[in-house]
Amino acid sequence: MKNIDLIIIGSGAAGMAAAIEAKKNGIDDILILEKDNCLGGILNQCIHNGFGLTEFKEELTGPEYLSRFVEQVKQLNIPYKLNAQVIDLSKDKIVTYSSKEDGLVSLKAKAIIMATGCYERTAGAIMLPGDRCSGIITAGTAQRYLNINGMMVGKRVVILGSGDIGLIMARRLTLEGAKVLCVSEIMPYSNGLNRNIQQCLVDFDIPLYLSRTVSKVVGKNRLEKVVLSAVDKNLQIIPGTEMEFECDTLILSVGLIPYISLLNYIDCPISSTKGAVVNQYMETMIDGIFTCGNCLHVHDVVDFVSDEARLAGRSAALYLNNMIKKNGKIALKPGNGLSYVLPQFILEDSLEDIIIKFRVRQPVTDQVVMVKSGDTVLIKVIKPVLIPSEMVMIKLSKEKLVDAKEEIVVSLEAR
Amino acid sequence: MKELTCIICPRGCRLKIDDQMNVTGNSCPRGPKYAIAELTNPTRTITSSIRVTNRPYTLVSVKTDKPIPKDKMFDVMKEIDKLSIAAPTHIGQIVKENILGLDSNIIITKNID
Amino acid sequence: MNSKIYDVLIIGAGVTGTMIARELSKYCLDVAILDKNNDAGDASSSSNSAIIHSGYDPEPGTLKAKFNVLGNAKYPKLVEELDVPFNQCGSLTIAVEDEQLPILKELAERSKINGVEVKLLSKEEVIAMEPNINPEVKGALFAPTAGIIDPFNLVVHAMENAIDNGVTFLRSHEVLDIKKQDEIYLVKTNKGDLFSRIVINAAGVKSDKIAMMVEDIDWAITPRKGEYYVLDHYAEGLVNHTIFPLPSKKGKGVLVSMTTSGNYIVGPSSELADPDDLSTDSETLANIKKAATLMVPSIPFKETIRVFSGLRATCTRHDFIIEYAKSDNHFINVAGIESPGFVSSPAIAEYVVETLIRPLITLKSNTKYNPCIKKYHRMFYLSDEEKLNIIKENPEYGQMVCNCEHISLGEINDALSRSCPPVSIKGMKRRTRAGYGRCQGGFCQPRALLIMARHYGVSPKDIPLAEDGSYIIDHEVKEVE
Task: Tell me the per-residue pLDDT of B46-104, one tens digit each, with 9 for 90 and over.
Answer: 999 999 999 988 999 999 999 999 999 999 999 999 999 999 999 999 999 999 999 99
CB C407 within 8 A of CB C400: yes
* The domain boundary residue, chosen from A299, A324, A349: A324
**Number of structural domains chain A divides into:** 3
CB A334 within 8 A of CB A358: yes
Contact B110 A194 (CB under 8 A): no
Q: Phi and psi dihedrals of A10, rounded to 5?
A: 110, 135
Q: Between β-strands B84-85 and B47-52, what pairing exists: parallel, antiparallel or unpaired?
A: parallel
- Which amino acid belongs to residue C8? V
Counted across chains B and C, CB pairs separated by less than 8 A come out at 13
- Do A187 and A220 lie in a common domain? yes
Q: Band of the pLDDT at C480, cuts 50, 70, 90?
A: low
CB C275 within 8 A of CB C223: yes
| Nearest CA distance, C464 vs chain A (angstrom) | 8
Contact A155 C466 (CB under 8 A): no
- Would you tell me how many other CB atoms lie within 10 Å of the CB of residue C58? 24
CA–centroid distance for C166 within its chain: 22
- Which amino acid belongs to residue C408? S
Q: Which CATH superfamily is domain C379-462 in?
A: BFD-like [2Fe-2S]-binding domain (1.10.10.1100)
What's the mean pLDDT in C143-163? 97
> Rounded to whole angstroms, how far apart are CA atoms B48 and C24?
57
Contact B10 A44 (CB under 8 A): no
Nearest CA in chain B to C453: B57
- Would you tell me how many other CB atoms lie within 10 Å of the CB of residue A131? 21
Q: Band of the pLDDT at C2, cuts 50, 70, 90?
A: low
pLDDT tens, per residue, chain A with 415 residues:
999 999 999 999 999 999 999 999 999 999 999 999 999 999 999 999 999 999 999 999 999 999 999 999 999 999 999 999 999 999 999 999 999 999 999 999 999 999 999 999 999 989 999 999 999 999 999 999 999 999 999 999 999 999 999 999 999 999 999 999 999 999 999 988 888 999 999 999 999 999 999 999 999 999 999 999 999 999 999 999 999 999 999 999 999 999 999 998 899 999 999 999 999 999 999 999 999 999 999 999 999 999 999 999 999 999 999 999 998 899 999 999 999 999 999 999 899 999 999 999 999 999 999 999 999 999 999 998 898 988 999 999 999 988 888 999 999 999 8
What does DSSP assign to residue A201? I
CATH code assigned at A383: 2.60.40
Q: Does C481 touch chain B (CB under 8 A)?
A: no
> Helices in C378-478 by DSSP H: which ranges?
384-393, 409-417, 425-432, 445-456
CB A156 within 8 A of CB A244: no
Cα angle vertex C153, ends C148, C158, to 5°? Answer: 110
CB C165 within 8 A of CB C369: yes
* The domain boundary residue, chosen from A202, A237, A254: A254
- Domain range summary for chain B, segments of one domain joined by +: 2-40, 47-108
Q: What is the pLDDT of residues C68-123, one digit of tens each?
A: 999 999 999 999 999 999 999 999 999 999 999 999 999 999 999 999 999 999 99
- Domain range summary for chain C, segments of one domain joined by +: 1-85+148-220+313-374, 91-144+222-312, 379-462
Q: Which of C279, C398, C446 sits opposite A103 (nearest CB)?
A: C398
> Rounded to whole angstroms, how far apart are CA atoms A248 and A261?
33
- Which amino acid belongs to residue A80? Y
Q: Got the DSSP string for A52-67?
A: -TTTTSS-EEHHHHHH
| Nearest CA distance, B12 vs chain A (angstrom) | 5
Which residues are paired to B85 by β-bridges?
A: B52
Which residues are paired to C225 by β-bridges?
A: C271, C311
> Rounded to whole angstroms, how far apart are CA atoms A353 and A326?
16
Contact C450 B50 (CB under 8 A): no
- Do A298 and A312 lie in a common domain? yes
> Rounded to whole angstroms, how far apart are CA atoms A313 and A5?
12
Q: Phi and psi dihedrals of A108, rounded to 5?
A: -100, 120
| Nearest CA distance, A161 vs chain C (angstrom) | 17
Q: Which residues of A touch B61 (CB under 8 A)?
A: 47, 61-63, 147
Return the pLDDT at A26.
Answer: 97
**C379-462 shares the fold of C1-85+148-220+313-374:** no
Contact B51 C460 (CB under 8 A): no
Contact B57 C460 (CB under 8 A): yes
CB C310 within 8 A of CB C223: no
Contact C470 A131 (CB under 8 A): no
Going from the C-alpha of B65 to that of each of A61, A105, A174, B109, C274, the distances in angstroms are 11, 44, 21, 10, 57
Q: Which of B10, B45, B70 sits opposite A195 (nearest CB)?
A: B10
Please name which of C399, C405, C403 lies closest in space to residue C387, comparing C-alpha atoms: C399
Please name which of A100, A179, A196, A351 lies closest in space to residue C397, comparing C-alpha atoms: A100
- Alpha-carbon Rg for chain B, nearest whole angstrom, is 17
Which residues are paired to C321 by β-bridges?
A: C335
* Secondary structure string (H, E, C) spanning C324-367: ECCCCCCEEEEECCCCCHHHHHHHHHHHHHHHHHCCCCCCCECC
CB A193 within 8 A of CB B12: yes
| Nearest CA distance, C298 vs chain A (angstrom) | 18
Going from the C-alpha of A109 to that of each of A94, A116, C111, C385, the distances in angstroms are 6, 17, 56, 21
- List the beta strands (DSSP E) in A90-236: 94-99, 103-114, 118-120, 136-138, 151-152, 156-160, 179-184, 208-209, 212-218, 225-230
**Domain residues for A348?**
328-415
Cα angle vertex C288, ends C90, C277, to 5°? Answer: 105
**Residues 6+ positions from A374 with CB-CB distance below 8 Å:** A405, A406
Rounded to the nearest 10 degrees, what angle do helices A164-175 and A139-147 cross at?
A: 40
Which residues are paired to C91 by β-bridges?
A: C143, C242
- Which amino acid belongs to residue B36? I
> Rounded to whole angstroms, how far apart are CA atoms C380 and C233?
13
> Rounded to whole angstroms, how far apart are CA atoms C450 and C477?
16
Nearest CA in chain A to C464: A134
- Would you tell me how many other CB atoms lie within 10 Å of the CB of residue B16? 15
Please name which of C170, C182, C157 lies closest in space to residue C371, comparing C-alpha atoms: C157
> Rounded to whole angstroms, how far apart are CA atoms A124 and A128?
6
Q: Does B93 touch chain A (CB under 8 A)?
A: no
Q: Which of A95, A145, A169 to mutate to test the interface with C (most CBs of C within 10 A)?
A: A145
Contact A47 B73 (CB under 8 A): no
Chains sharing 3 or more CB pairs under 8 A with chain C:
A, B
Is CATH 3.30.9.10 the classification given to domain C91-144+222-312?
yes
Q: What is the pLDDT of residues C240-255, one digit of tens each?
A: 999 999 987 777 789 9
Q: Which of C450, C460, C478 sits opposite B51 (nearest CB)?
A: C478
Instruction: Name the CATH code of domain B47-108 (choices 3.10.530.10, 3.40.50.1000, 3.10.129.10, 3.40.50.800).
Output: 3.10.530.10
Cα angle vertex A71, ends A68, A75, to 5°? Answer: 140
Strand order in the sheet with A392-396: A338-342, A354-360, A392-396
CA end-to-end span of chain B = 51
Going from the C-alpha of C341 to that of each of A89, C70, C334, C336, C427, the distances in angstroms are 41, 12, 11, 9, 22
Buried b (16+ CB within 10 A) or exposed e, A385-396: ebbbbbbbebeb
Contact C446 A259 (CB under 8 A): no
Q: Band of the pLDDT at C3, cuts 50, 70, 90?
A: confident
CB A203 within 8 A of CB B44: yes
Q: Band of the pLDDT at C235, cuts 50, 70, 90?
A: low
CATH code assigned at A140: 3.50.50.60
- Is C53 labeled as catalytic in the residue annotation? yes
What does DSSP assign to residue A32? E
Q: Which of B49, B52, B57 to mutate to test the interface with C (most CBs of C within 10 A)?
A: B57
Q: Does C478 touch chain B (CB under 8 A)?
A: yes
In CATH, the architecture of C1-85+148-220+313-374 is 3-Layer(bba) Sandwich (3.50)
Q: Which of C388, C446, C470 sits opposite A221 (nearest CB)?
A: C470
Residues 18-47 of B with CB under 8 A from C: none
* The domain boundary residue, chosen from A280, A301, A324: A324
Q: Does B77 touch chain A (CB under 8 A)?
A: yes
- Would you tell me how many other CB atoms lie within 10 Å of the CB of residue A358? 24
Rounded to the nearest 10 degrees, what angle do helices A13-24 and A62-75 cross at?
A: 30
The count of residues in chain B is: 113
Contact C478 A134 (CB under 8 A): no
CB A226 within 8 A of CB A212: no
